Structure 1
Amino acid sequence: MNAAPLEIPGHHREGEPAVTTAPTHMTASVLTEPGVIALQDVPVPALGRHQVLVKVEAVGVCGSDTHFYETGAIGDIEVHGPVILGHESSGVVVAGGADVDPARIGTRVAVEPQTVCRRCEYCKQGTYHLCRSVDFYGAWPVDGSFAEYELIDDDFAHEIPESMTFEQAAMAEPVSVALHAVRKAGITEGSRVLITGAGPIGVLNAQVARAYGATEIVISDPVENRRRFAAEHGATRAIDPAATDFAPFEEHFDCYIDASGNARAIDAAIPTLRPGGIAVLVGMGGKRLELPIALMQHREITLTGTFRYVNTWPAAIALISSGKVEVDALITGRYGLEGVEEALLAAKTDPLAIKTVVIPGYQG
């Protein structure tokens, strides 16, 4: 059943919602159990005072969505009931809560898919992504974006320029992952950077590193198609780890970003860092990792991880809209809500797939 039509009046009295008629039901692709996605008619969640209702126009498929679909868990987050996956989204604001400016109605936005408490020490310090009460979209029990509509706090629905497409705006989320990693790595003008893993996140890390001034960006991946794509979209060089001797890179790089989660890749990369270098782990791998501790101590290498992102959306939107980060070429497949299962598995079934996008109502 499709959502009811919207009535969007030009004015409303103070204390009333910004619209008088909003949809009550919507179509959503629901993970009912691991390995099973069902297209269902579900209620549209009720607006909070500071929230907006966004009509979803595009949703990127993330590897975490696929992992939830296949296994029902990521790390300590387990699926214990039905949930709508998806968190890389964009759309149009169609309704607002009582405290939302009615001028927001009709705004085109990229959605930052998390709700935080705004009261804890982390939120008050500006590191709200570390909030202990964070609700992240598409991570059970919080519903995500593979639906016709989604709710988000008003200030986490970031306006996008008219020149930006909804597909590009949905990519603000993975670009934000890369932005957070590049900032943590301290990349600046003239930096020499090694990246392991040439999937979408690895490629976007390469592009953001270039935008931040890195002059040498080497990316490593065992898949030839991904190496070729990375070399065409951000990397200055792409290498096959199985056929490359890393010895010549000893103490060469200023920064290292792992986007693979592969323990062997990380182990081979750490010695390539110069004294004082920084290693940033972005890829999700095993729960434990062996590291060359003596080498890291003697070189004073900093090792850190990333947990999603914080304060990145305006910069991500600017990088995409300016063309400094080019995301269109990453999108290799489009699906409607009825094709979410196929979209989730595209990276495994299509050797040429880079990034897939779900578009509600898409007629391919």
Structure 2
Amino acid sequence: MTKEDNLSLVIHKKGDLRLEQTPIPTELGPDEVLCKTHSCGICGTDIHYWMHGYMSSFVVTDPLILGHEVSALVDKVGSNVKHLKPGDKVAIEPSLPCRMCHNCKTGMYNHCPLSNKQVKGSPNFHGMLTRKFTHPADFCFKLPDNVTYEEGAMVEPLAVAVHAVRRVNLTLGQTVLVCGAGTMGMMCLAAAKAHGASKVIMTDINQFRLNVAKEMGADETILINLKTFSVEDVVAQVKQSIGNNGEDGGQGGVDITFECTGNEGSTKVAIYSTNNGGKVALVGLGPLEVKAPLVNASLREVDIIGVCRFRNCYPMAIYLLETGKVNLKPLVTHKYRLEQSLDAFKKMIEPDNNAIKVLIQCNQDF
């Protein structure tokens, strides 16, 4: 290890976030690359680690470099690496599966027991909010010339949305509800539109985000007032937006819902707003247990579908960006230098902060 400048954002425990120098690996494996981070997006998961010390079942127990939504410049390549060279612009897929277990061999490497423990930026495995890091070359995806580093840092959340769309088998002309207009909700909106959804309705508690959702292609938006929130009222608004409440035998809800908040009330809205025989994809992470109207979903044959990160989705996500089928530029509301990382995190938790995707730029020399 060498101790040249490798400033990194490290969480030590709940509420304890520090900028520190960390070692740069000097030994490069034959199948690895050494990368210089350009942009790293702040994810809701990062905020949970900082504010609560955990996210779902992942608990911070040791100092951890954060960051898993990353674009980077290839600095050095291992002896076996042929598809990349120094100077290439790449998006980084952060999970590191074993490649040997049943899940990996059947293509579901996002369920690899090792991958569940080895996701960069999650407890026990350092992330990439740092100047330099090493990574397996086959999980580094070269970006086309017309895709920027900023867009490259958003390939990771876009890949989650691509996986969600695949999980529900969204088809041309279907109607869609997206609960939550944060980063993941916006990604699901973009992916659904790119896959042929005829109408997308968005809900959120923030009018600014809903305005951006309209710019991104949302057909209808519903602003939720937390003080007067009623599941029944929101469901009625969704059905009204579709144009039929189902009373005359027509469609009573949307075909597909992407629940992107993890909130219990929003999960209820998602189920009740979905038409008989429809599908609800649980994209957002919330408490480990929530109350949900499962009997209602069962009797109406509404499928509840889990979404765990992604698998084999980076090429599709990059294609959507390269061809212009998805435009993520409106989502970047704030940029900070690595030295300003603490300010960036504080920005994310400001009330009415009008922040959607906050990017931290770790190197300014390329």
Q: How high is the TM-score relative to the length of structure 1?
A: 0.89
Instruction: Render the CA deviation track for 1:205-258: whole Å, top value 9, x for unaligned.
Output: 111100000011001112111121112212111012447552362532111110
Give, in whole Å, the separation in 1 of the partners of 2:224 and 2:51.
28
- Secondary structure (helix, strand or coil) at the match of 1:276 reads strand
The percentage of aligned residue pairs carrying the same residue is: 32
Residue 194 of structure 2: aligned partner: 211
- Check whether the contact 1:50–1:154 (CA below 8 A) recurs between aligned residues: yes
Give, in whole Å, the separation in 1 of the partners of 2:333 and 2:223.
23
Instruction: Render the CA deviation track for 1:115-144: whole Å, top value 9, x for unaligned.
Output: 110000111111101100011010121111
Counterparts of 1:189-268 in structure 2, within 5 Å, are 189-242=172-225, 244-247=233-236, 249=239, 250=245, 251-268=252-269
Counterparts of 1:61-76 in structure 2, within 5 Å, are 61-76=42-57
Between 162-171 and 47-56, report the one with greater CA deviation.
47-56
Residue 9 of structure 1: aligned partner: none
Instruction: Render the CA deviation track for 1:266-293: whole Å, top value 9, x for unaligned.
Output: 1123122222111111111122122223
- Secondary structure (helix, strand or coil) at the match of 1:246 reads helix
Root-mean-square deviation (CA), in Å?
2.0
Instruction: Render the CA deviation track for 1:59-109: whole Å, top value 9, x for unaligned.
Output: 111111111112211122111111100000011111122322385222211
Change (3 A) 1:33 1:269: closer
Gaps of 5+ in 1: 5-22
- Check whether the contact 1:347–1:355 (CA below 8 A) recurs between aligned residues: no
Match of 1:122 among 103, 110, 133: 103
User: Counterpart amino acid of 1:175?
Assistant: L
Change (3 A) 1:132 1:245: closer
- Secondary structure (helix, strand or coil) at the match of 2:191 reads helix
- Check whether the contact 1:86–1:138 (CA below 8 A) recurs between aligned residues: yes
Match of 2:125 among 118, 121, 142: 142
Aligned length: 343
User: Counterpart amino acid of 1:63?
Assistant: G
- Secondary structure (helix, strand or coil) at the match of 2:114 reads coil
Residue 319 of structure 1: aligned partner: 320
- Check whether the contact 1:114–1:136 (CA below 8 A) recurs between aligned residues: yes
Residue 113 of structure 1: aligned partner: 94
**What's the offset of the Cα at 1:25?**
5.6
Residue 132 of structure 1: aligned partner: 113
Residue 40 of structure 1: aligned partner: 20
User: Counterpart amino acid of 1:326?
Assistant: N
Counterparts of 1:1-364 in structure 2, within 5 Å, are 26-45=6-25, 46-101=27-82, 104-134=85-115, 135-242=118-225, 244-247=233-236, 249=239, 250=245, 251-349=252-350, 351-362=353-364
Change (3 A) 1:124 1:169: same
Between 271-280 and 190-199, report the one with greater CA deviation.
271-280
- Secondary structure (helix, strand or coil) at the match of 2:172 reads coil
- Check whether the contact 1:57–1:89 (CA below 8 A) recurs between aligned residues: yes
Give, in whole Å, the separation in 1 of the partners of 2:217 and 2:189.
5
Between 192-201 and 37-46, report the one with greater CA deviation.
37-46
Gaps of 5+ in 2: 240-244, 246-251
